[in-house]
Each structure stands twice: as structure tokens, then as C-alpha cells.
Amino acid sequence: MRKSLASASLLALLSAGGAFAQECADPVEITWSTIAGFYTDAMANFVKSFEDDNCAKVTVVNIDNSQLYNKQVIEMVGQTGAYDVVTLETAEKAEFAENGFILPMTDFFADKQELLNDVSPTLRAMTVEYKGDVWGLPYYTYTAGMFIRQDLIDDAGEQAAFKAKYGYDLADPTTWEQHRDIAEFFTRKAGETLKGEVLTKDFYGVGLMAGPFPEIQDELSAPLWGMGSDWLTAEGTVPVDDVEKVLGEYVEELKFAPPAALTVTYDGVMNQMKDCQIAMTHGFFLDQWPNAVKTEDNCPGAKVAAIEAPGKKAYVGGFLLAVSSSSAQPDMAMKFVAHIGGYEIQKQFAELGGASTLTSVLTDPAFATSERRATNGQYATLNMIFDSMSGFSSNLFKTPFGAKIYNTMQIPLQAAAAGQITVREAAEQLAADVAKICGGPCPIAN
């Protein structure tokens, strides 16, 4: 679930800040625990303006992705006050709120509704809303659509061949059945042709994140949600038949993916696209646009597009900042959350290529120019996804067991992808695992 922009050129744009604009005799000290990497490298640079404006001193604690959740939970359980502001992912919000680890910020935003309303209702519902309260602000989104080689879809020769084989026009897929057909169609062996050119290496119709990582369930969320289902029913149980169906279709598509599909996550798929190996992705994180668009530099004639996933539903997620209930400085911590998630910082973050969470930034004409395409070319699609998914929220993010479930799901799903168990066995194992975690049906908040 943790998606890295992984762009050295963007990191190089970050500049070191200076000392306080005006000396502050007794700054209020707060500590922010967050993810080491681009997200923090960019945001830490914006900390200085907050310090200047608020007579504050912010200590940024960089923690490796794999350790952040556990380290934060330990400090929250112990009520140590070690962190004033914590960084959470979508599935962790309900657990931290339900257990009293973080403070509600509903009252704080009472006179800041303009800022709160600038976050799409879809993204708010997924990331910061729980039981009628607001628990922070998202500051980075890795919401998924899909990437596609538009030049392949638009090629007249490929269009004619596709229609001759499948009986309908080749176009951006709007259903998962079409996605499967396109994946099959563009899978070619070295020596065959693609757009009239002889391939010097094998080419594949789709890149899949079927390795032993959590992103496999992010991919599967797109067809599962698109069929009107969810990982958890309203009664708090796994819909085994629905999971079996989408997992079975996913395993079928593995035939049209590079063999490395069983070992990679998002960065591997991006490498495959940039290496001219694949025609498209599955439901995929649009924050990766600055990587995906590099395909156009590496593959002659390539044209990459970010589009909505088939069914107009795909994984919606992000990082959010929340205030620890054991913070000695909750007022300053809440101001910091509003600063990082607010318009000025989000706009600066966007200029560095970050995936902003604010509608005003995503729809700003300044980011829709040809000059900004390499860093912000996915923004219009992101905004369309939020509109298309208006009113939707997953039950996985409405249970305090969401994070524990999320961190377990990959095991049976990947085992089925690897052929170690059947898709039915995987769906049943997931249902049993979830029931064990929750002690029965999982509680789902209204």
C-alpha cells in the first residue's frame, strides 16, 4: 500500500531551507513520525515555513515503510507522547481512532470547512472520516486508475486485427472482460510484429503486481468494487464467491503478464513498462505517472495515458496526518496537520510532482499544461476517479481491524496467483483468516 514516487530528478528539486525568518525565543516543539523517502523529503522541506509562522520546532522522525505501523502502535499503546503527529495509511485510520490513539479533529475544522471541502468526498471518506468524525488530513494519494500504451490502442493495423479476432472495436477497456481480451491480444513472442515492427523480445499484454506484497489486493479491489462487492460485507464477513470470481479472472490474466509478475510489486511493473515490455497495467497507482510517462522516452512511438480503470472503480488510498492522543502539544500538532494538508503546501508539493489530495490543485489549469505533463499528467484522471466513485467507501476501512486484515490478505491471494492453492481455497482461507482476526464477523462502522 505504500507507493514511492522514486524519482531522483524530483528529489533534486528540493532545496534546503534556512533558519526561522524571525528568531523565536521559546518555540513549541512537536515531533512528526513519518515515512522515509520522497513523501518526507518533500514535506520536510515545507516544515520550515510552518516553524517560521508558528514559533514551532518540528522534529521529523523518518521510519522505514515496513516498520512505521508497528513503531507507531507501540508508542500509541504506551501513551509515551513520543510522536505528536503520526502518519497513517487508509486501512489504519479506524484502528487508531477506535483505540483512542489519535484525536478527532472535527471541532478543529469547524471554522476551516473550506479546507476540508477541498478534499474530494471520496478521498475524505476513505482516508479521514470515521464514525461521524474527521481524524486528520490526507497529504498524498496513491489512488489507482490504470496506465495504457495509447499508441497501441490507436494503431489502425492493431485495431483491424483486434476487431477481426474479437468482433468489437479496440479501445480503452471499460469492462474487465475487455481488459482481459486486450491483454491476450497484445501478448506476442519475439519475431512477431507490433504496430508493424518485428519484436526483438517477448511483449506482454499486461503488467501485474502478483508478487508477495500487499499491492496484489489493491489490484484486486478494482474488479471487486467494480462488480458492486467489497472485501467485507455489511455483516462483516468476506464474500467468498465474489473473491473467488475476481481472483480467478486475475489468475487467468497472469498468462498474459511477464513471468516476473509473481515476484514484483508496483516498481517492477513500472520497470516493465519503461522497458517496453507491456501494453498496460491492471488497476494501478496513478502517483506513478512521472515514472510511467518515461516510457515515451524509451520506447519509439510510445504514448502513455492515465485512464480510469474498467468499471470506474479502483483502489482509493493515501497517507494522512493525525494527532496523537498523548501529544503534549495537540493544538500545535493540529495546526501542523492543516499546514501540510493545506493549499499552499499542496500546491508546492504538486510542483515537485507529488500526488496532491486537494481538488483545487488537481483542477488548477497551471498543472494541465504541456509543460507540466511529465509531472502532473494524471491529475485530470484522478479528479474523474474521485467523481466517479462519489458515495463509495470500502467496509475494509470502516472496521478497527482493517489494518490487521490488510496485512494478512496477501498471503492467500498470492498463494493462489502462484498456483500453490486454488482460487476457491484462497477465498475460503481469507474468510477464515478475517473471522479469526475479528473473533467472528468484523464490526463495521456506519
pLDDT tens-digit series, residues 357-373: 999 999 999 999 999 99
pLDDT of amino acid 446: 83
Average pLDDT over the chain reads 93
Give the tens place of pLDDT for each residue, 239-257.
Answer: 999 999 999 999 999 999 9
Q: How far apart are CA 295 and CA 426, in angstroms?
A: 35
Per-residue pLDDT averaged across 31-35, rounded? 94
CB-based contact 372:293 (threshold 8 Å): no
pLDDT band at 198 (very low <50, low <70, confident <90, very high): very high
State the pLDDT confidence band at 267, using cuts at 50, 70 and 90: very high
Q: What are the structural domains of the chain? A: 8-143+316-388 (3.40.190.10), 144-312 (3.40.190.10)
Torsion-angle region of 228 (φ positive above 0: left; ψ -120 to 50: alpha; else: beta)? left
Q: Please count the other Cβ atoms lying within 10 Å of the Cβ belonging to residue 253.
A: 20
Q: Are 179 and 314 in contact (CB under 8 A)?
A: no
pLDDT at 40 over 80: no
Can you tell me the distance from the alpha carbon of 147 to that of 306, in angstroms, rounded to the nearest whole number? 5
Question: Residue 3 pLDDT more than 90?
Answer: no
Q: What is the pLDDT of residue 14?
A: 40
Q: Please say whether the beta carbons of 395 and 230 come within 8 A.
A: yes
Residue bearing cell 490513539: 101
- What percent of the chain has pLDDT above 90? 90
Q: Where is pLDDT greater, at 96 or 16? A: 96
Backbone angles phi and psi of 406, in degrees to 5: -55, -40
Run of H or E residues at 428: helix 423-438
Give the residue, 23 or 105, on which the prediction is more confident: 105
Confidence tier at 43 by pLDDT (50, 70, 90): confident
- Please report, rounded to a whole number, the percentage of residues in the chain having pLDDT higher than 70: 94
- The arithmetic mean of pLDDT across residues 205-226, rounded, is 97
Residues 6+ apart with CB under 8 A from 384: 308
User: What average pLDDT does range 117-142 have in this prediction?
Assistant: 96
Kindly give the interhelix angle for 330-341 and 343-351, rounded to the nearest 10 degrees: 50
Query: What's the pLDDT at 5?
Result: 45
Place of cell 472495436: 169
Predicted TM-score (pTM) of the model is 0.92
Residue 24 has what pLDDT? 82
Contacts within 8 Å (CB) and 24+ apart, 337-342: 337/85, 337/105, 337/136, 337/137, 338/108, 338/112, 338/115, 338/137, 339/46, 339/49, 339/50, 340/43, 340/46, 340/50, 340/137, 340/139, 341/115, 341/119, 341/136, 341/137, 341/138, 341/139, 342/115, 342/137
> Quick one: pLDDT at residue 90?
94
All three cell numbers of 271, joined, read 520497470
Rounded to an integer, the average pLDDT of 11-37 is 68
Of 242, 277, 248, 245, nearest to 261 by C-alpha is: 277
CA distance 213 to 4: 14
Per-residue model confidence as pLDDT tens digits over 295-345: 999 999 999 999 999 999 999 999 999 999 999 999 999 999 999 999 999
